[in-house]
Amino acid sequence: MSFIRKIKKPSGTYYARVESHREGKTVRQKHIEYLGTSPNAREIPVDPSVAGLLAQAILSGTTPPDEMKKLLKKLGIEFAGKLKRLALIYNPPLKKLTLRIE
């Protein structure tokens, strides 16, 4: 079973999803996923045909959080909790478009 671990470094606090397993008498942790500076952040791959609609809602700056959550649900993206940040990210070397939700 995995859990979220807080990692303190001089440059700041980071979070990672880790899994514990036993090797003989010692317990080791395996990093499964790096979560960055927020343990609740998620990155979801986005279809380019939907990206325009998301970009328009994000860039308008007038869409309330409740309406944004309804739009995400309509697109098949479930998010429980309070919506703090939303970013549409394009990674040119990978040609990958993702939606980062915090």
Q: In what order do the strands lie in the sheet with 2-9?
A: 2-9, 12-23, 26-36
Pairing, β 26-36 against β 12-23: antiparallel
Check pLDDT > 80 for residue 40.
Answer: no
Residue 2's pLDDT band, with cuts at 50, 70 and 90, is confident
The reply to whether 55 and 95 lie within a common domain is yes
Q: Are residues 65 and 89 in the same domain?
A: yes
Q: Model confidence at 8, in pLDDT bands (50, 70, 90)?
A: very high
Q: Give yes or no: residues 56 and 93 share one domain.
A: yes
Domain extent at residue 24: 2-36
Say whether both 25 and 57 belong to one domain. no
pLDDT of amino acid 22: 92
Q: Are residues 56 and 94 in the same domain?
A: yes
Question: Looking at the structure, do residues 58 and 88 belong to the same domain, yes or no?
Answer: yes
